[in-house]
Structure 1
Amino acid sequence: MSLLFGGVCQIGYVVRDIEKAMRHWSDVLAVGPWFYKEAVGTTEFRYYGQASALPDLSIALANSGGVQIELIQQRNDAPSLYLDSLKHAGEGMQHIAYWTDDRFDEYAEALRARGYVEGHGGRMGMRGRFAYYMHADLPGNIVEISEMAGGKGEYFATIAAAARGWDGADPIRGIGAGQ
C-alpha cells in the first residue's frame, strides 16, 4: 500500500503478440475474461514532455482479484516507453498503475517532487489522462497515474465484475473502436 496513492490498481505488461499473450493468461494461468481492443485510438501523446507521434496500440484488460492486468502491444514505431521497455528488457512487466478520480495533478506533482520525470503521457479517446513516470535511481520502475474520467472508471468496474463471475467461457472479448 502506498501512503501517497493507495493500493496498486494495475500491472501492465508489454508484449510483441497480444493475442498469444491473452491465450497464455487465459488458458495457462486461468485469468480472464480479457477485454481486447485492437485499435485503442490514442488522441494525445507526449514523449519526455514533447508532443509526439501517436502510438498505434492494442490493449487487453482482465482482472486477477482486485488487480487489473493490462497487456499492451504497440504496432508502429512512434517513440514510447512501451518500445523502450521492449528494447531494453524484452517482454514482461512494464509498469504499475495507481488510479484517481480527481487527484491526477496532485499525484503527478507528488511524483515529480520525489525526482520522477514523465516518460510519456496523454489521453486515449475521451477517457481520462494517463502519465508514466520514471526515476533515475530505479529506471525499470515505471509508475503510471491514470485518471478515471470519461467513463474509464465504469469500464474498469465492468471488467472487474466480469472476472468475479468468470467460469472460463468466452475468454477473449473484442471491444469496438468506440470504447
Structure 2
Amino acid sequence: MSRFFGEVRQLGYVVHDIQKEMRHWSEVLGVGPWYYADRVPVKNFLYQGKPSPIQTSVALANSGPLQIELIQQRNDAPSMYKDFLDAGRTGLQHLAYWTESFEADLARLQAQGLVVGMSGEVGEKGRYVYFETETHPGTVIELSEVAGPKGRLFKMIREASVGWDGSDPVRPFPNLSTL
C-alpha cells in the first residue's frame, strides 16, 4: 500500500480496440464480467487546464479487489490518453487511488507538488484528476472520487466478479443516476 495514496484500486489501460481487449481479458485471462459504456458522459473535462471535447469508451471489470479499466479514445481531442497513444504506446497508462474525501486529498496532493494534467466528472460525486506523474509508461496517478453513484457502480462491478463463471462477459453500464 502506498503511504501517500492508500491502496492502488485500479489499473487503467489505454487501447486501440476495446472490444478486442475485453475478449482477451475475459477469454484468455478469465477477468470479467466487463461493464461497458460506448460513450462515457464526461462533464467539465479539462486537459492542461483547458476544456477539451473528449469522447471515450470505457470497460470496467475486477480481478479480486483490483479494478481493470480499458479506455479507448474515440476522437482527437487533447488528453493524456491521446498523448500516450501519440507516443506510440498502448497498455497500462495509469494507477488509480479512490477517495471519499476528494477535495481534501486533492489539496493535500497538490500541496506535495503534484500537478493536475487532466480532470473531469462522471455523474454526481464522480470527479477525477490525473496528475502529471509519468516518469515511465504507466505511472500516471489518478485520484478518483467514489463517494456517490460511481462508488456504488464500482461495488456492483466488484460483486459481479466474485464467482463469475464466464457467462455474459460484456454488460452495459447502468445509468449512474439510478444507482
TM-score (norm 2): 0.91
RMSD (Å) for aligned C-alpha atoms: 1.5
Is the CA contact 1:44–1:54 (under 8 Å) kept in the aligned structure 2? no
Partner Cα distance (1:144, 1:89) in 2: 21
Partner Cα distance (1:57, 1:126) in 2: 19
2:99 corresponding residue in structure 1: 100
- Structure 1 residue 28, shift from structure 2 partner: 0.7
AA matched with 2:120: G
- Structure 1 residue 145, shift from structure 2 partner: 0.4
Partner Cα distance (1:48, 1:95) in 2: 17
Q: Aligned pair in 2 of structure 1 residues 96, 79: CA closer, same or farther (>3 Å)?
A: same
AA matched with 1:159: I
- Structure 1 residue 134, shift from structure 2 partner: 1.5
- Structure 1 residue 104, shift from structure 2 partner: 1.3
Is the CA contact 2:18–2:71 (under 8 Å) kept in the aligned structure 1? yes
1:49 corresponding residue in structure 2: 49
Q: Deviations over 1:36-67 (max 9, x none)?
A: 011111111111122x1221111000001110
> Which of residues 152, 163, 167 in structure 2 aligns to 1:169?
167
SS in 1 for 2:87: helix
> What are structure 2's unaligned runs of at least 5 residues?
none
1:156 corresponding residue in structure 2: 154
SS in 2 for 1:135: coil
Partner Cα distance (2:133, 2:41) in 1: 28
- Structure 1 residue 3, shift from structure 2 partner: 1.5
Q: Deviations over 1:69-105 (max 9, x none)?
A: 000001011111011111114110000000011x212
2:70 corresponding residue in structure 1: 71
Q: Deviations over 1:93-152 (max 9, x none)?
A: 000000011x2122222332333211100112334110000137x264210001113311
1:82 corresponding residue in structure 2: 81
2:61 corresponding residue in structure 1: 62
1:19 corresponding residue in structure 2: 19
TM-score (norm 1): 0.91
- Structure 1 residue 175, shift from structure 2 partner: 2.4
- Determine what percentage of the aligned residue pairs are the same residue: 50
Is the CA contact 1:130–1:144 (under 8 Å) kept in the aligned structure 2? yes
Is the CA contact 1:115–1:135 (under 8 Å) kept in the aligned structure 2? no
Give the aligned length: 175
Tell me, yes or no, if structure 1 residue 35 matches structure 2 residue 57.
Answer: no
Is the CA contact 1:42–1:54 (under 8 Å) kept in the aligned structure 2? no
AA matched with 2:45: F
Partner Cα distance (2:104, 2:123) in 1: 23
Q: Aligned pair in 2 of structure 1 residues 139, 90: CA closer, same or farther (>3 Å)?
A: closer
